[in-house]
């Protein structure tokens, strides 16, 4: 397989509008949750899997003045537990059950899920298993509902890389470190902007636990037939926000739309996988689109 890429115990603290607490999931795993702002509740799901939610900070900072942004540290990331990482604890179903445990703790009948990349994949799997518990899906640069996109995602991202990027990737892999820093420019439309963000980013802070990636994605592919069958029956609201030059590819968007014909597609031109980190025009359009999808 090619490299696969890469978001009740109750203790509360409140600082500057932020509420933080732990919940205990179905298997005893303690999950850390941050909340920002007040209003309609939104669940923000980071990509990865294994990425720290800090990289989507700009999204909750923009929304928290009008919405209650609930940001869980997914298992094995942030302050959530990471013990016993195996095919059971790092299965897609485990992540879905964590999300359901959060819903029950919040006492919400339905969830609005905003998922980026893997977070969008997790959102779709949750919707397939708990369709009546989903009010709306907002998928930002999501992977597909099947494993088809793995076949071209790496090619799309690698073709954009320069010799210096490939050298850095090789050095990181030789040190048995995640190669995300080397791949970084391939996620962007604008290389100059990518390098600017790269130089200001702590990748050790973002890349929490790469060990879960192959386990989760292998399981995701293995369970795709049941997911597809269930999603065909899902009738909830779906919005897809995608950069035109996202290496995930427009084929992935079309695959989701064919499965969920009620989905509305919003394409941002000259934009890669991380629209809130592209240039000013793309950032502005991304947030306008996101807020429109919530209304």
CATH code at position 244: 3.40.50.1820
Q: Which two tokens stand for residue 231?
A: 């999603």
Range of the domain at 141: 13-294
Within a domain: 140: yes
Q: What pLDDT is stored for residue 261 in this prediction?
A: 97
Q: Which residue has the tokens 């537990």?
A: 81
Per-position pLDDT tens, the chain of length 295: 334 334 333 333 444 458 999 999 999 999 999 999 999 999 999 999 999 999 999 999 999 999 999 999 999 999 998 778 999 999 999 999 999 999 999 999 999 999 999 999 999 999 999 999 999 999 999 999 999 999 899 999 999 999 999 999 999 999 888 889 999 999 999 999 999 999 999 998 898 888 999 999 999 999 999 999 999 999 999 999 999 999 999 999 999 999 999 999 999 999 999 999 999 999 999 999 999 999 9
Asked, for residue 2, whether it belongs to a domain, the answer is no
The torsion of the CA quartet 261, 294, 31, 18, rounded to 10 degrees, works out to: 170
CB of 40 within 8 A of CB of 102?
A: no
| pLDDT at res. 257 | 98
In 3D space, the residue among 14, 20, 10, 216 whose CA is nearest the CA of residue 104 turns out to be: 10
242: in domain: yes
Residue 165 lies in a domain: yes
Whether residue 4 is contained in a domain is answered as no
Please give the pLDDT value at position 15: 44
* pLDDT for the residue 117: 98
Per-residue pLDDT at 2: 39
Per the domain annotation, does 114 fall within a domain?
A: yes
Q: What is the 3-state secondary structure (H, E, C) of the chain?
A: CCCCCCCCCCCCEEECCEEEEEEECCCCCEEEEEEECCCEEEEEECCCCCECHHHHHHHHHHHCCCEEEEEECCCCCCCCCCCCCCCCCCCHHHHHHHHHHHHHHHCCCCEEEEEECHHHHHHHHHHHHCHHHEEEEEEECCCCCCCCCHHHHHHHHHCCCCHHHHHHHHHHHHCCCCCHHHHHHHHCCCHHHHHHHHHCCCHHHHECCCCHHHHHHHHHHHCHHHHHHHHCCCCCEEEEEEECCCCCCHHHHHHHHHHCCCCEEEEECCCCCCHHHCCHHHHHHHHHHHHHHHC
pTM as predicted: 0.93
Residue 91 is assigned to a structural domain of this protein: yes
Q: What is the pLDDT of residue 177?
A: 84
Q: Write down the pLDDT at residue 4.
A: 39
Please count the structural domains in the chain: 1
Distances (CA, A) of 267 to 150, 173, 236: 21, 34, 21
Q: How much is the pLDDT for 17?
A: 58
Q: State the pLDDT at residue 83.
A: 75
In a domain, 6, yes or no: no
């Amino acid at each position: 397989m090619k490299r696969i890429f890469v978001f009740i115990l109750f203790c509360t603290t409140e600082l500057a509008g932020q509420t933080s607490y732990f919940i205990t999931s179905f298997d005893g795993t303690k999950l850390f949750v941050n909340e920002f702002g007040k209003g309609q509740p939104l669940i923000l799901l980071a990509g990865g899997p294994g990425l720290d939610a800090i990289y989507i900070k700009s999204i909750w900072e923009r929304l928290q003045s009008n919405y209650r942004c609930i940001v869980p540290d997914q298992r094995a990331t942030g302050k959530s537990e990471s013990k016993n990482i195996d095919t059971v604890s790092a299965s897609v179903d485990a992540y879905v059950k964590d999300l359901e445990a959060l819903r029950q703790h919040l006492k919400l009948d339905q969830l609005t899920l905003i998922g980026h990349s893997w977070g969008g994949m997790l959102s779709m799997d949750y919707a397939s298993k708990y369709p009546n518990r989903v009010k709306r899906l907002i998928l930002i640069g999501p992977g597909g509902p099947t494993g088809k996109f793995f076949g071209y995602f790496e090619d799309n991202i690698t073709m954009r890389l320069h010799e210096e990027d490939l050298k850095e990737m090789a050095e990181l892999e030789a040190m048995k470190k995640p190669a995300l820093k080397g791949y970084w420019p391939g996620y962007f439309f604008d290389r100059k902007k990518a390098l600017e963000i790269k130089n200001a980013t702590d990748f050790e802070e973002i890349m929490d636990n790469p060990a879960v990636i192959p386990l989760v994605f292998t399981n995701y592919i293995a369970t795709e037939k049941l997911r597809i069958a269930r999603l065909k029956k899902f009738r909830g609201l779906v919005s897809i926000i995608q950069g035109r030059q996202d290496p995930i590819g427009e084929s992935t968007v079309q695959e989701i739309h064919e499965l969920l014909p009620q989905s509305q597609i919003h394409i941002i031109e000259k934009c890669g996988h991380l629209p809130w980190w592209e240039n000013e025009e793309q950032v502005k359009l991304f947030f306008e689109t996101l807020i429109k999808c919530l209304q």
